[in-house]
Amino acid sequence: MIGVFDSGLGGLSVLAAISRALPGADLLYLADTAHLPYGAKSDDFIRGRVLAIGRHLANCGCSTVVVACNTATAAALRALREQNSEIAVVGVEPGVKPAAASSLSRRIAVLATESTAKSAGLARLIRDHRGEVAVHVEACPGWATRIEKLDLNDPALASEVSAKILPLLEAGMDRLVLGCTHYSFLAPLLEPLIIGRAELVDVAAAVARQVVRLSGESTGSDGSLKLLATAKPERLLAALPALGLGWLAARVSAPAQLADI
Ligand code: DGL
């Protein structure tokens, strides 16, 4: 079984990519909704949550655990790997490398939570992959929480997003890296703003390919999806259609459950 987790709904963007790549695999999604947003919390707090959830997923029988959260990956991926050598651990890092490699203007922006924006992991990623490209990091406080509320058609969110994005476009940035898995769900808002001027860079499909490489073809599984949350588990199933993922609901094998972690 493949376990995928995030602070909340954001990791569903990664889960969807994994589900497309491995339609026969058994999947377990865990949302740490009692503790979101991670992006405004300390590294120590996030590390504690990641280690507890990773252990829980391993105890549930997951042989692969996907940290479908840039913030958690930056704060705790190494610790999770060190403490769980018996499972394969996959993280999510902002797509600085593909963005820098494809930028024509040689200017790119990374949109991320406050925690990821100031992380050593992102600084290293930029240092290793920027080449001659100028990389601007834009923290987007509050965006993940707004997405959790599913108020994606709220005009106030649209104007907040465009107030952030237009100056980046005016500064010539032609790649916008979605450095938080929640932001994939802003694509319908972002695409019309950037059309003809910039492209979004999302790593969900690349993460799914990495999961396929590590977990191989699944045998003895029936393509089920189990949903767990540390608070309000019923919201997960309801969120799927609101996020354009209604097709994933067909894989859900049982009512979403509360996870006491
Ligand atoms: N989805 C998470 C990420 O990729 C974080 C959202 C949060 O702040 O909880 O960074």
Q: Going from the N-terminus, what domains does the chain have, and what CATH number goes with each? A: 2-92+205-258 (3.40.50.1860), 96-202 (3.40.50.1860)
Structure confidence at residue 235 (pLDDT) = 95
**pLDDT for res 79:** 97
Q: Note the pLDDT of residue 62.
A: 96
Give tens-digit pLDDT for 85-133.
999 999 999 999 999 999 999 999 999 999 999 999 999 999 999 999 9
Nearest alpha carbon to residue 172 among 215, 135, 209: 135
- Does the pLDDT of residue 260 top 90, yes or no? yes
Q: Is the pLDDT of residue 220 over 70?
A: no
Cα angle, residue 38 at apex, residues 32 and 39 outer, rounded to 5°: 155
* Structure tokens given for 178: 């979605």
Sheet strand arrangement including 134-139: 134-139, 107-112, 175-178, 199-201
What's the whole-model pTM score?
A: 0.97
Averaged pLDDT for residues 182-191: 98
Residues 133/161, Cβ–Cβ less than 8 Å? no
Q: Is 180 a catalytic residue?
A: yes
Specify the pLDDT at position 155. Answer: 95
Write out the two tokens for 244: 């354009």
- Distance CA(140)–CA(112), nearest Å, equals 6
Q: What is the mean pLDDT of the chain?
A: 96
What is the rounded average pLDDT of the residues 235-258? 94
CA-proximal residue: ligand 1, atom 8 (nearest): 39
Q: Average pLDDT in the 250-257 region?
A: 91
Give 156's Cβ-side CA count (13 Å radius).
6
Test site for ligand 1: of 77, 182, 207, most ligand atoms within 8 A of the Cβ: 182
Q: Does residue 5 come out as left (phi exceeding 0), alpha (psi in the -120 to 50 range) or beta? A: beta
Q: Residue 6: pLDDT above 90?
A: yes
Is 69 a residue of the active site? yes
